[in-house]
Structures are given as C-alpha cells and as structure tokens.
C-alpha cells in the first residue's frame, strides 16, 4: 500500500517533463490552514533553472493530474504547492487502510540485513540506570526495522573480559560469601570486586595477586576458567530476568572474550597493510591525511596546529583493547551475516571511539559494502539537573528502578480502581509502570539529556505512556458497549467522512504509514512517540464531537471503523516502542 506522499510524488514526476530525473518530495503540512500536504519542488527546481519559483509552480500545477485525490492545488509563499485531499478520496484511502494488516506502512523497496548492537552489560556488575537508554532504544529500533520488513540480528555484546577479572578471581578465592552469592549473585560479585579493588590500590601484594590470577585466566588455567564461566552464568541469569520483564530478546549474545582468538590477527593484518605502525612500543593507527582535518578522527586542533590522536590497537605490553575487539567484532559480523547495516547503540561519550573504529575499518576492509552507524544518546538527569542517582549518591540499579515504577503505578491504579481485584491491579501496574519508563526514555530527541521525573512519566495527562494506554482502553470500551447494544452486529453502511473531526482523524491515521519508515533514516523513535500522542489527541477531539454509538447507519459504521483503526494503530505503535496496550485500566 502506497502512502499519500508517494502517490503525489509519482504524479509530480509525471508532470515534471522538463526536469527528467527530478525527485520531488511531498510531506504533511504542520498547519492545516495550508492544506494536508506540501511540496517545495518548484522552489528547488527554480533555483537550478534560475527561474521564478511561483511561475514554475503554476506550470507544474497546469500539468499535474491529481483531480482524483485533491481539490485544485494552491501556491503559497515563495512557491510551495499545497494539496488538500478530497473527502471521498480520503474515505477510499481509509477503507484500504482498515483492510491492511500493515496499517498503511509500505514494504521497503529494498529489504536489508541489519545488525543492531545494544544493551551490552558487564559480567559481575548489576545493570543500572545507564543501561536503560541503550537497551530500550536498541529494542525499539529492532522492532521497527523488523516490522518494516528488514532482517534484523539483535546482538548483545557482553563485557566479559578485562583486568577486572583478576580482582574478581582474587575475591572469589579469598572472601566470597557462598550464602550471599546464592541470595544475590550480582550483589556479592560486586562486593568482592569493590573490596579487592580498594585493597589493591593500597597494597602492592594484592595488586600482584590480581595480575597473576588474570594471567592464569588468559593462559587457560582450568580453575580460573571454571570460576569465570560461573560468573558469566550467574550474571546472565540476572540479565535475562530483567530482559524478560522488559520484553526484550536477543538473537546473539557474545562476550568480548569470543573475539580473543582473532585479536592478534587483526593487529598483524593492520600492520601488514600499513594501517597500523609501532609507536613507543605500542601499535597505533594514525591519520592517513586523506580528508579534511576537521573531519579526521585521528587529528585534533591545539594552539592552531593539527596534532595526532592515534588509535591504539595494541598496548606496549602486547595486550589488545576495545578498539581491537570492536574491529574483530566487525569482521566477524561481516563473515557471519553479510549485513547491509551495522548499528551501535551507546552513550554519547563513545562518539570519538566509534569514529576511529569506523575510519580504521574503512581503510582495513575498503571493499566492504556496509553502512556503519553509531546511534548515540544523551544522559538521564535527576530533577536537580545532575546525573540521576539514588538519594545516597549511588548508581540506580535497573531492577530497583523497574520495581519502583511498578509500585508507583500500582498506587495510582489502586486509587483509580480500588474495587478491582489486586491481581488485576498488579498486572495493570506492571504494564503501566514499565511502559511509562520506556516511553519517557524514547520520547526526547535521543541526543538530548532528559530529566527523570516519576510525576511526569506516570501522569495520565500530556505526552506520556499512561495517556496513550488510556486512549487505547477508552476505544476498547466503546466496542464492549457496542457489543452489549448489538451495534457491531447490525448491517453497516459505506464509509462516509463528513464531519471535520472525522476527516482530521482519518488524515492522522493515514500518516502512520508515512512516519514509521522515516524512523530509521536517523534512528529516532521519538518521531513515532510524538505521532502517537498527536493521534491520541486527535481521537479524543473526534470522540468529544462525534457521538459513536448514538449515531446510525453509515455514520455509525464510519465512526466505529475510525475507532477500530485508531485502536489498532495505537496498539501497534506502542508495540513498536516495546510498550503493551492493556484492555482495561
């Protein structure tokens, strides 16, 4: 099913006989006074042809055949062409939308294979508030890409290797509390790590012991490997518990250790190709000076001079680092899945790291036809404007945050529906609480910091998940009442859009198929969140001004159909954000 902008663009191309190869763009207008859709094609082409844009706009309109879709187009401003849909054309479009399982979202011209790397917790450490954004954003992008029709590989790149395991092994062998480990494995592993880390900073013998245990692990010592595998097993169990609560799944979960066998090979190959070279005993990648200095991730401007900031791929002691591991990971993903696109979802502090990794990869695998994208995001702040912490100043654990979300939602649900069975209230609270956390994270521009506010995110008013969930519940209640009255069983008439609120809702529903494909252009689920809020607001305006069950015949059929498609779009849109839509609240 084509979107309305796609249809109008095809008609425009047919009218642009004097501009072969032109690709006009049509978009929904922000202000209904100017119609429903708009193109700036005349302005773009007039600049190329050094012509008057308004005159060219008129010439385009004279050749344009859109009478079946729109009233005569109008010229506005410097040369915009505005389109206003005919009610009968919108009604026909709505009938198609109502029958479409994809709700108007077109199948992509090219189905891509996309690897999305997100979440990435560390073994022996609790998932904390810092993991929220990567986990929720990555999951939503995977859901949207999959719904569009792309082949998606959800890859969880676990931190399971590094110097911290030397300290963990010392702690495991000397101060481990087995009963505490059984009660809360992550908390106990975190405790022994903190204890040994504090002691090794003051005691050289502890530092040496940790270094020795790490060397034994890296050399394949069976005892240390067994302990390390147990740490991974215990950590994964707690990670999976959180992912289960959030409804998040992965296709692949591989730790950094998986790529160890290829690290030396990566460095050797980079050196053989002249990409990496020795510097002060380490192997580094320097700028190749092939592009503008300001865009070069291996250069930085200091005192008016461009100086080197090389990427380290092997330390002077022969150890690899994150850059080496990420390059080996990229090579593995190419071999394993031949993806068209690889997306990394991490915080903004890693921007420079990924700029260097991608640049090295392009020089190393110059024939690889794959898009690499670093989807970075801002920080979560407390209401004091500082990084979000507990009252005692500790990092907020993700499990504790989800518990609090459900408890706060339970209090709200109990206040609104005190007579409802407690089990039902708990289930509604789970859906509302977790949905509120997810939506609050996805709503802002991902590159912006946002303030974490329980009051705002759990409000049933404004742009929140509870408001959208309530909107869905309100629509479902209409159909329960309709069933009681037998309205849904009577023979219905044709779809006829007459009232302004009916037309407005039908137009907003038609935009779902326009919004969803745009999200992956710059990896911004907030486009969908804002669309759903606009849809819910448009539906409520329709519901207030257009009686549904008190109407009859074609009017009732039309309004019930509008309600049905609104519920379907809200539910699907929320699902693409990883949020459930409850039947009752």
Domain that holds residue 243: 113-257+320-377
Boundary of a domain, candidates 430, 457, 484? 457
273 lies in some domain? no
Please list, in sequence order, all residues whose beta carbon lies within 8 angstroms of the beta carbon of residue 10, skipping any fewer than 6 positions away: none
What's the rounded Cα separation, in Å, for the pair 372 and 118?
14
Helix (H) and strand (E) counts for the chain?
21, 16
Query: Please, are residues 133 and 349 in contact by the beta-carbon 8 Å criterion?
Result: no
SS3 250: coil
- Residue 477 and residue 569 share a domain: yes
- Residue 211 and residue 243 share a domain: yes
Which neighbouring-strand residues pair with 114?
152, 341
- Residue 485 and residue 556 share a domain: yes
Residues in the chain: 585
Put simply, whether the predicted model's pTM sits higher than 0.85 gets the answer yes
What's the rounded Cα separation, in Å, for the pair 135 and 446?
13
Which neighbouring-strand residues pair with 314?
283
Q: What is the CATH number of the domain that holds 202?
A: 3.40.50.620
Residue among 255, 254, 248, 253 nearest 136 (CA): 248
Q: What is the CATH number of the domain that holds 481?
A: 1.10.730.10
Per-residue pLDDT 10s for the chain (585 aa) are: 899 999 999 999 999 988 888 999 999 998 888 899 999 999 999 998 899 999 999 999 999 999 999 999 999 999 999 999 999 999 999 999 999 999 999 999 999 999 999 999 999 999 998 899 999 999 999 999 999 999 999 999 999 998 999 999 999 999 999 999 999 999 999 999 999 999 999 999 999 999 999 999 988 999 999 999 999 999 999 999 999 999 999 999 999 999 999 999 999 999 999 999 999 999 999 999 998 999 999 999 998 899 999 999 999 988 889 999 999 999 999 999 999 999 999 999 999 999 999 999 999 999 999 999 999 999 999 988 888 887 777 889 999 999 999 999 999 999 988 999 999 999 999 999 999 999 999 999 999 999 999 999 999 999 999 999 999 999 999 999 988 887 654 445 588 999 999 999 999 999 999 999 999 999 999 999 999 999 999 999 999 999 999 998 899 999 999 999 999 999 999 999 999 999 988
Query: Please, are residues 512 and 519 in contact by the beta-carbon 8 Å criterion?
Result: no
The total number of structural domains that make up the chain: 4
| 159, two tokens | 């931190």
C-alpha distance from residue 401 to each of 138, 250, 337, 343, 433 (Å)? 19, 22, 36, 27, 10
- Residue 474 and residue 451 share a domain: no
Task: Give first-to-last CA distance, the chain, whole Å.
Answer: 34
- Residue 132 and residue 52 share a domain: no
Q: Is 552 exposed, middle or buried (0-12, 13-18, 19+ CB in 10 A)?
A: exposed
SS3 302: strand
Query: Please, are residues 437 and 405 in contact by the beta-carbon 8 Å criterion?
Result: yes
311 lies in some domain? no
| 568, two tokens | 């379907």
H-type alpha helices, 417-511:
422-442, 454-457, 465-485, 500-510
Residue listed under structure tokens 């998040």: 248
100 lies in some domain? no
386 lies in some domain? no
245 lies in some domain? yes
What's the rounded Cα separation, in Å, for the pair 359 and 363?
7
24 lies in some domain? yes
Element spanning 27, H or E: strand 26-28
- Residue 362 and residue 416 share a domain: no
- Residue 361 and residue 243 share a domain: yes
- Residue 404 and residue 369 share a domain: no
Query: Please, are residues 161 and 225 in contact by the beta-carbon 8 Å criterion?
Result: no
Please list, in sequence order, all residues whose beta carbon lies within 8 angstroms of the beta carbon of residue 29, skipping any fewer than 6 positions away: 35, 36, 37, 38, 82
Task: Please tell me the predicted confidence (pLDDT) of residue 492.
Answer: 55
Boundary of a domain, candidates 457, 480, 495? 457
Residue among 337, 334, 323, 159 nearest 251 (CA): 337
- Residue 453 and residue 471 share a domain: no
What's the rounded Cα separation, in Å, for the pair 101 and 433?
29
What's the rounded Cα separation, in Å, for the pair 9 and 519?
20
Degrees to nearest 5, angle at CA 304 with 301 and 305: 60
- Residue 515 and residue 418 share a domain: no
- Residue 235 and residue 368 share a domain: yes
Task: Please tell me the predicted confidence (pLDDT) of residue 491.
Answer: 44
Please give the distance of CA 519 from its chain centroid, rounded to a whole number: 9
- Residue 548 and residue 508 share a domain: yes
What's the rounded Cα separation, in Å, for the pair 353 and 374?
10
Query: Please, are residues 582 and 473 in contact by the beta-carbon 8 Å criterion?
Result: yes
What's the rounded Cα separation, in Å, for the pair 267 and 277?
9
39 lies in some domain? yes
38 lies in some domain? yes
Q: What is the CATH number of the domain that holds 78?
A: 3.30.1360.70
């Amino acid at each position: 099913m084509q979107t309305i902008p796609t249809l109008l663009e095809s008609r425009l191309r047919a009218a642009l006989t004097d501009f072969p190869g032109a690709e006009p763009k049509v978009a929904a207008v922000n202000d209904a006074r100017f119609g429903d859709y708009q193109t700036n094609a005349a302005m773009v082409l007039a600049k190329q042809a050094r012509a008057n844009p308004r005159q060219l706009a008129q010439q385009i309109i004279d050749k344009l055949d859109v009478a079946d879709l729109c009233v005569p187009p109008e010229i506005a401003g410097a040369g915009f062409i505005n389109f206003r849909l005919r009610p009968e054309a919108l009604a026909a479009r709505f009938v198609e939308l109502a029958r479409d399982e994809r709700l108007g979202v077109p199948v992509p011209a090219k189905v891509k294979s996309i690897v999305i790397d997100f979440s990435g917790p560390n073994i022996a450490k609790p998932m904390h508030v810092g993991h929220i954004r990567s986990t929720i954003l990555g999951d939503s992008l995977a859901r949207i890409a999959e719904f569009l029709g792309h082949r998606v590989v959800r890859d969880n790149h676990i931190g399971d290797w590094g110097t911290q395991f030397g300290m963990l092994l010392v702690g495991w062998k000397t101060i481990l509390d087995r009963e505490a480990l059984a009660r809360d494995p992550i908390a106990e592993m975190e405790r022994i790590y903190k204890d040994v880390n504090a002691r090794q900073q003051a005691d050289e013998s502890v530092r040496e012991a940790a270094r020795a245990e790490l060397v034994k692990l890296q050399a394949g010592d069976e005892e240390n490997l067994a302990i390390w595998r147990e740490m991974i097993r215990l950590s994964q169990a707690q990670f999976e518990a959180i992912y289960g609560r959030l409804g998040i799944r992965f296709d692949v979960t591989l730790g950094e250790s998986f790529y160890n066998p290829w690290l030396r090979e990566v460095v050797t190959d980079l050196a053989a190709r002249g990409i990496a070279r020795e510097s002060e005993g380490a192997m580094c990648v320097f700028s190749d000076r092939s592009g503008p200095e300001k865009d070069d991730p291996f250069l930085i401007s200091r005192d008016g001079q461009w100086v080197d900031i090389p990427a380290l791929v092997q330390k002077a002691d022969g150890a690899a680092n994150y850059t080496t591991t990420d390059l080996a990971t990229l090579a593995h993903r190419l071999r394993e899945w031949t993806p068209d696109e690889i997306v990394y979802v991490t915080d903004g502090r890693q921007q420079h790291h990924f700029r260097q990794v991608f640049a090295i990869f392009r020089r190393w695998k110059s024939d690889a036809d794959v898009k690499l994208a670093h989807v970075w995001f801002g920080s979560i702040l407390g209401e004091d404007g500082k990084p979000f912490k507990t009252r005692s100043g500790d990092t907020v654990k993700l499990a504790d945050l989800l518990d609090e979300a459900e408890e706060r939602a339970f209090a709200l649900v109990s206040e609104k529906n005190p007579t409802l069975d407690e089990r039902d209230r708990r289930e509604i609270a789970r859906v509302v609480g977790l949905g509120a956390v997810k939506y609050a994270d996805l709503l802002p521009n991902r590159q912006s910091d946002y303030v974490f506010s329980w009051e705002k995110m759990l409000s049933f008013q404004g742009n929140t998940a509870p408001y959208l969930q309530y909107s869905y519940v309100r629509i479902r209640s209409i159909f329960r009442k309709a069933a009681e009255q037998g309205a849904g069983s009577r023979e219905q008439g044709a779809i006829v859009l007459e009232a302004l609120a009916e037309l407005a809702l039908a137009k907003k529903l038609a935009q779902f198929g326009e919004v969803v494909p745009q999200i992956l252009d710059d990896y911004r689920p907030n486009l969908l969140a804002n669309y759903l809020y606009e849809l819910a607001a448009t539906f409520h305006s329709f519901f207030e001004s257009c009686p549904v069950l008190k109407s009859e015949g074609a009017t009732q059929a039309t309004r019930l159909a509008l309600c049905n498609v609104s519920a379907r779009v809200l539910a699907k849109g929320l699902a693409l954000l990883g949020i459930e839509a409850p039947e009752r609240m």
